């Protein structure tokens, strides 16, 4: 438990670093939110006044400290453009991203793991070749291309699913499939490679020598050991999915965190950008922590050292 | 054999999943029938509070939710909308509210107090982009329930044309009501809800509209083709418009546009400050070829920001021809060693980049080596405002009054004081603008060439067959929503 707490505390400097870096980057890129808000006909006095009201006339270190102070009170601030509390924006967008990420991951696991297992069992036979070619093809498809392609096939030609939006439950299928395709490919290849390695180890040979069936050898003994690298990949991929699949969310009009982040960058809405990046960083760090914990559960040899 | 069995069971599971998925997907079926008219838009409005709106989508929606005192006729002369007016001199105007359009969507009556409260609140706001436009108002007073007097600090004979801000209820203004998300106006359409899509309802007959943001142009087209959207307007690359025209289930209406796309020069640049160089660049562009090959129908060559049919337009201006030989000669005469290397900045919009590439190829014939830099919007616009460019491309959208010439070309309007992004400084032009002699000012601009007016991009509305209505506007507004309806079967 102590070592877990230690790892949890280790998250703090990471998050602080992310905050500092985001703050600096956001303030150093060209574009002044005051000019965006007031337009080109405002007087210099108006700009100066608004800049002072927003605290943008203060030196960057003071702005950063003020920002940290508000964050410590759980106050993300307000959107410069819509005057909406950022916590409300995040509360609206985060569930959509989580829902999409979990479904994409489930699809990828449901297809990728069995495919990888079949490919490993049928090494160099037609199922293996098919799985390998499919995985390669899927991983070569960028989301901005695959998304419209799926829309064309499933929405326009077959008429099974809506093109985009979030109006019906079925709307989630195409963006989830788009995200799942690349992930399925990675999982298939990783499961196959890992299982092939494990299947040639001594303990598997021993299990077979004991007369255990192929099903028991693979599913009970080999697979558990082979899943370790797969878990790492799943953790990392889930982190990036939860961080907002920017392109997929934009193409499919999915109101998630990724889309909110892009919109805020376009409008130079500093507080929203900073809040989004902070939330994304936190998600990444927490998911990775969870992955480490899962690792320890799967393999008794892996333990957090004191 | 057991090996085969385990493989077979896994394959069976996957097959079963795929079968279930297909059955499930097929069950989703075609979009349900509906009564509302669904409009796919490229960009959702940022705010429904007219005091803050500057983006095109917000202004187009706010025109429909709120009534404004003044509107414009086909020649862009100000005409009464909510009120008629008489100006006793250039500093005093009296507005008399008409009888129609005076019921707010919450049932209360629009009075002179609401007009006063709206404009006073605008003057008090510190973060409104419109406050500066009304800084000349010295006082606004309700004479009675139907009459409002405006007094100005300085003479302004264009003043009535500025009063195009939607009128808000005074009672709600006093309560600091959130108009940006829950607007209450007195316009032809009332606000219903704004969750993922903006829902509006026509007051006259209850017809509902759903405005859904779909950023990707290809996806907008797919939604229209599948029947998930009933209509879309503008913001499509020309090839997609051509594709839509070929679809039997889709009707495309096109009208000539008025939004001027232009090529801006940096007049402080060592090379570009020579008018011969600017003229050479202008002569090197074959606008007719671009309009015919790469623009949508209704696009026409431009000679000034305001089109010739505008009351302050100048129909006598002749477009510069395409003459690469003369362009080359002018550059040589200006002492330029060819090829002349120039940098052109534009946004990342695919159509903008495509047009830049075409111009790059055309300019090559005149000995100009154009380097294209495509930047994200924030960076690009910031560079333009700070004069960090040689050439750039932009469009003036929704311009109604000749005041634009003061904002864009007067020497006192260099950013941040205005939009003189090319840093033009010409005493004669300044005087003509100050005199309000727009014919002379546009002729002077045409001669000086601080920018190249390229074209007024055509407007189009693509819709499912089976709708009736009119009002497709040259400036791309959404006033057609006041009349569009489904045809009876």
For residue range A59-108, list pLDDT tens digits in order. 989 988 998 888 888 888 888 777 788 999 999 899 999 999 999 999 99
Answer yes or no: do A250 and A217 share one domain. yes
Nearest CA in chain B to A49: B126
Parent domain of A45: 15-72
- Reply yes or no on whether the pLDDT at B330 is more than 60: yes
Whether B195 has its CB under 8 Å from any CB of chain A: the answer is no
Given A72, A103, A118, the domain boundary residue is: A72
Please indicate whether, in this complex, the C-beta atoms of A266 and B376 are within 8 angstroms of each other.
yes
User: Distance (Å, rounded) from C-alpha B229 to C-alpha B220?
Assistant: 8
- Reply yes or no on whether the pLDDT at A42 is more than 80: no
Test the B interface: residue of A27, A40, A263 with most B CBs within 10 Å: A40
Mean pLDDT of all residues in B38-62: 91
Which pLDDT does position B96 carry in this prediction? 97
Mean pLDDT of all residues in B205-215: 93
- Reply yes or no on whether the pLDDT at B487 is more than 80: no
Answer yes or no: do A22 and A95 share one domain. no
Collect all residues of chain B within an 8 Å Cβ-Cβ radius of residue A247.
Answer: none
Answer yes or no: do A275 and A208 share one domain. yes
Answer yes or no: do A57 and A127 share one domain. no
Answer yes or no: do A164 and A32 share one domain. no
A116-162 tens-digit pLDDT: 999 999 988 998 999 989 888 988 889 889 999 999 999 989 989 99
Least trusted range by pLDDT, from B115-129, B365-379, B463-477:
B463-477
Whether B124 has its CB under 8 Å from any CB of chain A: the answer is no
Mean pLDDT of all residues in B451-458: 95
Size of interface A-B (CB pairs under 8 A): 162
- Reply yes or no on whether the pLDDT at A305 is more than 70: no
Please indicate whether, in this complex, the C-beta atoms of A37 and B129 are within 8 angstroms of each other.
yes
Answer yes or no: do A227 and A258 share one domain. yes
| Short-list B244, B187, B153, CA closest to B60 | B187
Mean pLDDT of all residues in B253-263: 93
Which pLDDT does position B2 carry in this prediction? 47
Task: Give domain status of residue A170, yes or no.
Answer: yes
- Reply yes or no on whether the pLDDT at B232 is more than 60: yes
Q: What percent of chain A has pLDDT over 90?
A: 26
Mean pLDDT of all residues in B224-245: 92
Which pLDDT does position B312 carry in this prediction? 94
Please indicate whether, in this complex, the C-beta atoms of B381 and A31 are within 8 angstroms of each other.
yes
Which pLDDT does position B468 carry in this prediction? 84
Task: Give domain status of residue A80, yes or no.
Answer: no
**How far, rounded to the nearest angstrom, does the alpha carbon of residue A201 sit from its chain's CA centroid?**
34
B94-105 tens-digit pLDDT: 999 999 889 999
Whether B13 has its CB under 8 Å from any CB of chain A: the answer is yes
Residue among A38, A156, A266 minimizing CB distance to B225: A156
Q: What percent of chain A has pLDDT over 70?
A: 95
A228-245 tens-digit pLDDT: 888 888 888 888 787 768
Least trusted range by pLDDT, from A37-41, A97-101, B53-57, B170-174:
A37-41
Task: Give domain status of residue A276, yes or no.
Answer: yes
pLDDT band at B7, cuts 50/70/90?
low
Collect all residues of chain A within an 8 Å Cβ-Cβ radius of residue B219.
Answer: 148, 151, 163-164, 251-253
Which pLDDT does position B336 carry in this prediction? 93
Collect all residues of chain A within an 8 Å Cβ-Cβ radius of residue B13.
Answer: 114
B357-387 tens-digit pLDDT: 999 999 999 999 999 999 988 889 889 989 9
Measured in angstroms, the CA of B34 and the nearest CA of chain A are apart by 13
Task: Give domain status of residue A9, yes or no.
Answer: no
Residue among B6, B127, B415 minimizing CB distance to A214: B6
Task: Give domain status of residue A228, yes or no.
Answer: yes
Answer yes or no: do A249 and A218 share one domain. yes
Which pLDDT does position B48 carry in this prediction? 94
Which pLDDT does position A282 carry in this prediction? 85
Give the residue with greater pLDDT, B199 vs A303. B199
At residue B465, φ and ψ (nearest 5 deg) are: -65, 150
Whether B5 has its CB under 8 Å from any CB of chain A: the answer is yes
User: Distance (Å, rounded) from C-alpha A116 to C-alpha A198?
Assistant: 13
Answer yes or no: do A211 and A137 share one domain. yes
Nearest CA in chain B to A255: B196
Give the residue with greater pLDDT, A36 vs A144. A144
Task: Give domain status of residue A252, yes or no.
Answer: yes
Mean pLDDT of all residues in B244-273: 94
Collect all residues of chain A within an 8 Å Cβ-Cβ radius of residue B216.
Answer: 148, 250-251
Residue among A81, A163, A173 minimizing CB distance to B223: A163
Give the residue with greater pLDDT, A42 vs B435. B435
Which pLDDT does position B25 carry in this prediction? 53
Q: In B395-418, which positions are buried (b, 16+ CB within 10 angstroms) versus exposed (e)?
A: ebbebbbbbbbbbbbbbebbebbb
Q: Specify the number of domains making up chain A.
A: 2
Which pLDDT does position A288 carry in this prediction? 84
At residue A300, φ and ψ (nearest 5 deg) are: -60, -20
Whether B416 has its CB under 8 Å from any CB of chain A: the answer is yes
Collect all residues of chain B within an 8 Å Cβ-Cβ radius of residue A168.
Answer: 28
Least trusted range by pLDDT, from A30-44, A162-176, B1-15, B41-55:
B1-15
Name the A residues in 116-145 with CB < 8 Å from any B CB. Answer: 117-118, 121-122, 127
What is the number of other CB atoms lying within 10 angstroms of the CB of residue B469? Answer: 17
Q: Where are the alpha helices (DSSP H) in chain A?
A: 2-28, 33-38, 44-53, 60-72, 86-121, 126-139, 143-150, 173-199, 202-209, 214-216, 223-242, 246-251, 257-266, 270-298
A188-201 tens-digit pLDDT: 999 999 999 998 88
- Reply yes or no on whether the pLDDT at B24 is more than 70: no
Please indicate whether, in this complex, the C-beta atoms of A253 and B376 are within 8 angstroms of each other.
no
All residues at 6 or more sequence positions from B324 whose CB lies less than 8 Å from its CB, including other chains: B283, B284, B362, B365, B366
| Short-list B432, B413, B295, CA closest to B358 | B295
pLDDT band at A291, cuts 50/70/90?
confident
Average pLDDT taken over every residue of chain A: 86
At residue B191, φ and ψ (nearest 5 deg) are: -75, 135
Token code pair at residue B387: 């004069």
> Scanning the structure block, which residue is given the tokens 């002749």?
B318
Task: Give domain status of residue A81, yes or no.
Answer: no
- Reply yes or no on whether the pLDDT at B29 is more than 60: no
- Reply yes or no on whether the pLDDT at A269 is more than 60: yes
Measured in angstroms, the CA of A44 and the nearest CA of chain B are apart by 7
Give the 3-state secondary structure of chain B: CHHHHHHHHHHHHHHHHHHHHHHHHHHHCCCCCCCCEEEEECCCCCCCCCCCCCCHHHHHHHHHHCCECEEECCCCCEEECCEEEEEEECCEEEEEECCCCCECCCCCECCHHHHHHHHHHHHHCCCCCCHHHHCCEEEEEEEECCEEEEEECCCCCCHHHHCCCECCCHHHHHCCCCCCCCCCCCCCEEEEEECCCEEEEECCCCCEEEEEECCCHHHHHHHHHHCCCCEEECCCCHHHHHHHHCCCCEEEEEECCCCEEEEEECCCCCCCCCHHHHHHHHHHCCHHHHHHHHCCCCCEECCCCCCCCCCCCCCCCCCCCCCHHHHHHHHHHCCCCCCEEEEEEEECCHHHHHHHHHHHHHHHCCCEEEEEEEECHHHHHHHHHCCCCCEEEEEECCCCCCHHHHHHHCHHHCCCCCCCCCCCCCHHHHHHHHHCCHHHHHHHHHHHCCEEEEEECCEEEEEECCEECCCCCCCCCCHHHHCCEECCC
User: Distance (Å, rounded) from C-alpha B73 to C-alpha B52?
Assistant: 25
* DSSP secondary structure letters along A193-225: HHHHHHHTSHHHHHHHHTT--HHHIIIIIIHHH
- Reply yes or no on whether the pLDDT at A251 is more than 50: yes
Token code pair at residue A73: 């009170």
Answer yes or no: do A159 and A228 share one domain. yes
Whether B7 has its CB under 8 Å from any CB of chain A: the answer is yes
Collect all residues of chain B within an 8 Å Cβ-Cβ radius of residue A42.
Answer: 129, 131-132, 416
Least trusted range by pLDDT, from A289-303, B81-95, B338-352:
A289-303
Q: Which CATH number characterizes residue A286's domain?
A: 1.10.3720.10
Mean pLDDT of all residues in A12-27: 86
All residues at 6 or more sequence positions from A63 whose CB lies less than 8 Å from its CB, including other chains: A23, A27, A55, A56
User: Distance (Å, rounded) from C-alpha B450 to C-alpha B439?
Assistant: 17
B351, B236 Cβ separation under 8 angstroms? no
* DSSP secondary structure letters along A40-70: SS--HHHHHHHHHHTTTTS-HHHHHHHHHHH
| Short-list B480, B464, B463, CA closest to B472 | B480
Residue among B7, B216, B228 minimizing CB distance to A127: B7
Task: Give domain status of residue A101, yes or no.
Answer: yes
Whether B31 has its CB under 8 Å from any CB of chain A: the answer is yes
Answer yes or no: do A197 and A275 share one domain. yes
Answer yes or no: do A99 and A65 share one domain. no
Where do the domains of chain B lie, and which CATH numbers do they carry? 65-169 (3.90.76.10), 257-457 (3.10.105.10)
A117-126 tens-digit pLDDT: 999 999 889 9
- Reply yes or no on whether the pLDDT at A264 is more than 80: yes
Which pLDDT does position A302 carry in this prediction? 65
Answer yes or no: do A154 and A59 share one domain. no
pLDDT band at B117, cuts 50/70/90?
very high
Measured in angstroms, the CA of A306 and the nearest CA of chain B are apart by 42
Residue among B6, B135, B223 minimizing CB distance to A218: B6
Which pLDDT does position B1 carry in this prediction? 42
Please indicate whether, in this complex, the C-beta atoms of B131 and A42 are within 8 angstroms of each other.
yes
A170, A151 Cβ separation under 8 angstroms? no
pLDDT band at B489, cuts 50/70/90?
low
pLDDT band at A306, cuts 50/70/90?
very low
Measured in angstroms, the CA of B206 and the nearest CA of chain A are apart by 22
Average pLDDT taken over every residue of chain B: 90
pLDDT band at B31, cuts 50/70/90?
low
Which pLDDT does position B252 carry in this prediction? 93
Name the A residues in 243-272 with CB < 8 Å from any B CB. Answer: 250-253, 255, 265-268
Mean pLDDT of all residues in B26-40: 69
Residue among B129, B197, B379 minimizing CB distance to A39: B129
């Amino acid at each position: 438990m102590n070592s877990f707490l230690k790892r949890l505390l280790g998250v703090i400097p990471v998050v602080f670093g992310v905050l500092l870096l985001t703050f600096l980057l956001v303030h150093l890129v060209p574009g002044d939110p005051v000019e965006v808000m007031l337009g080109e006909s405002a007087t210099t006095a108006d700009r100066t006044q608004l800049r002072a009201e927003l605290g943008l006339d203060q030196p960057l270190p003071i702005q950063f400290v003020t920002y940290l102070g508000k964050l410590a009170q759980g106050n993300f601030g307000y959107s410069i453009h819509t005057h909406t509390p950022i916590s409300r924006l995040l509360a609206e967008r985060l569930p959509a991203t989580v829902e999409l990420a979990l479904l994409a991951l489930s699809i990828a696991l449901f297809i990728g793991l069995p495919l990888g297992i079949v490919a490993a069992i049928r090494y160099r036979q037609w199922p293996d070749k098919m799985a390998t070619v499919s995985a390669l093809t899927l991983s070569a498809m960028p989301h901005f291309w695959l998304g419209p392609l799926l829309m064309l096939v499933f929405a326009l030609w077959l008429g099974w699913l809506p093109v985009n939006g979030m109006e019906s439950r079925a709307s989630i299928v195409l963006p989830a499939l788009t995200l799942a395709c690349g992930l399925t490919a990675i999982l298939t290849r990783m499961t196959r490679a890992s299982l092939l390695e494990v299947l040639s180890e001594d303990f598997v040979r021993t299990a077979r020598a004991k007369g255990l069936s192929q099903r028991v050898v693979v599913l009970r003994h080999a697979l558990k050991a082979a899943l370790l690298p797969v878990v790492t990949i799943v953790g990392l991929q889930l982190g990036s999915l939860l961080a907002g699949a920017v392109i997929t969310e934009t193409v499919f009009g999915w109101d998630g965190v990724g889309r909110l982040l892009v919109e805020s960058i376009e409008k130079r809405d500093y507080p929203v950008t900073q809040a989004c990046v902070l939330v994304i960083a936190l998600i990444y760090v927490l998911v990775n922590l969870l992955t480490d914990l899962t690792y320890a559960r799967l393999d008794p040899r892996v333990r957090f050292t004191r | 054999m057991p090996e085969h069995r385990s493989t077979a069971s896994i394959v069976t599971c996957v097959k079963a999943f795929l079968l279930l998925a297909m059955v499930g997907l097929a069950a989703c079926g075609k979009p349900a029938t509906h009564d509302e008219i669904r409009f796919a838009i490229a960009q959702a409005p940022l705010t429904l509070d007219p005091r803050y709106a500057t983006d095109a989508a917000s202004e187009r929606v706010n025109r429909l939710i709120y009534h404004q005192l003044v509107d414009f006729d086909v020649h862009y002369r100000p005409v009464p909308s909510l009120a008629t007016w008489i100006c006793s001199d250039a500093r005093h105007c009296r507005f008399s509210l008409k009888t129609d359009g005076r019921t707010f969507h919450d049932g209360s009556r629009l009075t002179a107090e609401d007009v006063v409260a709206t404009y006073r609140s605008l003057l008090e706001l510190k973060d409104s982009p419109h406050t500066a436009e009304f800084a000349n108002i010295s006082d606004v007073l309700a004479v009675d329930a139907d009459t409002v007097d405006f007094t100005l600090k300085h003479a302004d004979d264009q003043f009535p044309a500025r009063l195009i801000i939607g009128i808000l209820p005074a009672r709600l203004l006093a309560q600091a009501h959130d108009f940006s998300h829950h607007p209450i106006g007195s316009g032809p359409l009332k606000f219903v809800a704004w969750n993922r899509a903006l829902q509006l309802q026509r007051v006259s007959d209850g017809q509902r509209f759903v405005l859904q943001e779909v950023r990707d142009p290809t996806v907008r087209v797919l939604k229209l083709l599948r029947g998930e959207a009933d209509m879309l307007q503008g913001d499509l690359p020309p090839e997609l418009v051509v594709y839509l025209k070929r679809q039997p289930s889709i009707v495309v209406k096109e009208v000539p546009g008025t939004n001027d796309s232009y090529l801006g020069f940096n007049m402080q640049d060592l090379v570009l400050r020579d008018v011969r160089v600017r003229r050479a660049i202008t002569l090197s562009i074959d606008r007719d070829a671009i309009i015919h090959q790469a623009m949508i129908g209704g696009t026409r060559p431009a000679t000034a920001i305001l089109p010739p049919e505008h009351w302050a337009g100048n129909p006598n201006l002749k477009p510069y021809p395409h003459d690469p030989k003369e362009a080359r000669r002018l550059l040589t005469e200006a002492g330029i060693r060819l090829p002349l290397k120039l940098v052109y900045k534009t946004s990342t919009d695919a159509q903008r980049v495509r047009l830049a590439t075409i111009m790059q190829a055309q300019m090559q014939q005149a000995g100009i080596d154009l380097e294209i830099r495509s930047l994200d919007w924030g960076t690009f616009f910031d560079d333009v405002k700070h004069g960090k460019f040689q050439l750039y491309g932009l469009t003036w959208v929704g311009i109604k009054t000749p005041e634009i010439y003061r904002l864009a070309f007067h020497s006192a309007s260099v950013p941040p004081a205005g939009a003189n992004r090319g840093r033009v400084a010409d005493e004669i032009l300044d005087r003509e603008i100050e005199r309000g002699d727009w014919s002379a000012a546009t002729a002077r601009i045409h001669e000086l060439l601080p920018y190249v007016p390229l074209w007024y991009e055509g407007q189009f509305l693509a819709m499912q067959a089976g709708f009736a209505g009119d009002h497709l506007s040259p400036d791309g507004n959404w006033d057609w929503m006041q009349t569009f309806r489904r045809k009876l079967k």
